[in-house]
Structure 1
């Protein structure tokens, strides 16, 4: 089969190589991948940004989430069968969805939502789970609370706004003026043009912030948070509390404690809680979101679909930060498989 691989971190262009079809363990299903989405974590992985957390072996096939059709099941698989259309975010130690096939644990997938195409389905798993876990599991966002979601027109933002509104929150977001109509249609109550305005000069007394940018933008989030509030980041630095909960060795916990001392000081001065979120793949949780996509409560936002053989262009566009919603790789034609 074909797979997009790197042999070293910061490799400019992944090579599309011929590799063996993955072996199927007892709890695995083998999926013929139809579509896969490109996420910022794929770029970070390629460039070595996650090697402190996930020291991958080379060569490494990239890609984190997908939609496809099961072609084989392991001996212990009871939830799925060959021919099922599924979608999912694979386990972090078994990434590799930029490929024609992947073996994935049955606990990491769910049946594809009815009435959604494979393109739409592939756009959901990583951003849907990340948004739900940030807003529901970590923040425990309640009706009437105020949340700022950075980058409302991005892959995370377009889903996070909708989930926050479903939870009953008042949602502020940042984007450029050309995307105002989009984020307003998704439910945003307050829209800030990050090119001409500073959110920290406009917002105050917010219950929560979902940071997708890191750096100075993350630090500025503490200026609008009220005492007892929460700042959750998917782009900042893991702190020592995260490292301990994740079971990292002492030297890594100390390293994270050192590099996040500025965030720790902001956390204390604002009387808020800072959480670095490393999303947990979960088929059952994805399945719980599926009805919301089936009934139209949540809607995917697709920027463009790019053929697998144009992966370089897809990664370049992702790196530009200009995408509105998700970038999808078309790996196979579902019509050729009778779906």
Structure 2
């Protein structure tokens, strides 16, 4: 590490109650735990809402954490533990846990468990746009929900079980929702219903949705009340807000309701008597490189892909990148190219 610079460029969030970001000169980060690796960052992606996490969920953070955003990261290994499965020069990608300093800096420290090898055939842009959204969409239906991922690989019983299920995805045109549509379709769900706008309808159908509900024309409650057979075995919410209450009309009694944006049980309307077969509810994604490697194989095989916004940003344009994400105008993941080499 003696040839590495002592100082690097890093983006900091000085005040956890403000979304203002600044570029600073910071000390070179150093691994401090046996499981940690140092990587040279190629690219990172902002995540909607992440600039409010420390203020809203203070129990997840420590005062010692350097306030660097950017959970999605892709880069090249500089140093790695001997037994990590990684070595200097490896191209890697992954999702850095929110409790740790992120990837919006020239070098960053990651845990070996969070990372996966970026396979040949997968570029930096596709790689960095994948981890957070894809892992969330993978864990929601297959680990929090009722779909069996083994159907993707041809398991006959898993296919039979999945074919009998209706899956409703609220926010199907979001980065997470688009992945969820693809995974549910790959797993052979009997129906994959996407809640999105008409402008996104064709794009989401191409990803595998069998039906579209336009939230600008009707609520999810209005849609399902037209035909009770429309109720879904699994409801996955990627939007939150007032729509959570409407989704209680969509989920079947005995089904599963999962959200990454709020607590479904806190939004349950008075008088709704439905109960869940499994607990479901709000969940936070786990940063698991093993699952990411599995997802990467599907991407390389052309069976799934991330949604990436057309806008690309240099490292010194970090503020514009985060502003685009926070404005909710982005049509997919927004990529910040930290290193141009």
Structure 2 partner of 1:245: none
Cα separation, 2, equivalents of 1:77 and 1:263: 48
Q: Which residue of the partner structure matches residue 30 of structure 1? A: 38
Q: 1:100 to 1:121 in 2, by over 3 A?
A: same
Q: In the TM superposition, what whole-angstrom CA distance separates every residue of 1:236-257 from its partner, at most 9, and x where no partner exists?
A: 0387xxxxxxxxxxxxxxxxxx
Distance change >3 Å, CA 114–CA 59, structure 1 → 2: closer
Of 230, 234, 239, the match for 2:256: 230
Unaligned regions of 5+ residues in structure 1, if any?
240-259
Equivalences for 1:107-122 in 2 at 5 Å? 107-122=113-128
Indicate the residue corresponding to 2:175 in structure 1. 155
- Which secondary structure does the structure 2 equivalent of 1:63 belong to? coil
Aligned match of 2:154: none
Cα shift at 1:283: 0.9
Query: Structure 2 matches for 1:179-258, cutoff 5 A?
Result: 179-203=200-224, 204-237=230-263
**CA shift for structure 1 position 60:** 0.9
Alignment counterpart, residue 71 of structure 1, candidates 68, 78, 94 = 78
Instruction: Output the TM-score relative to the length of structure 2.
Output: 0.85
Q: What SS class does the counterpart of residue 249 from structure 2 fall into? A: coil
Q: Which segments of 5 or more consecutive residues in structure 2 lack a partner in the other structure?
A: 1-7, 148-161, 225-229
2: CA distance between counterparts of 1:42 and 1:206?
30
Q: Is the 8 A contact 1:38 1:328 kept in 2?
A: yes
Q: Secondary structure at the match of 2:195?
A: strand
Candidates 3, 6, 11, aligned match of 2:10: 3
Counterparts in 2 of 1:1-339, with a 5 A limit?
1-24=8-31, 25-45=33-53, 48-54=55-61, 57=64, 59-74=66-81, 76-141=82-147, 142-169=162-189, 170-203=191-224, 204-237=230-263, 260=266, 262-263=267-268, 269-272=273-276, 273-303=279-309, 304-333=311-340, 336=341
2: CA distance, partners of 1:57 / 1:219:
38
Aligned to 1:248: none
Q: Which runs of 4+ in 1 moved over 6 A?
A: none
Bigger Cα displacement from structure 2, 2-11 vs 124-133? 2-11
Aligned positions, number: 310
Contact 1:43 1:319 in 2 (8 A): no
Distance in 2 separating the partners of 1:41 and 1:144: 35
Give the 3 Å change call, closer, same or farther, for CA 274–285 of structure 1 in structure 2. closer
Counterparts of 1:199 and 1:238, CA distance in 2:
15
Name the SS for the 1:231 alignment partner. strand
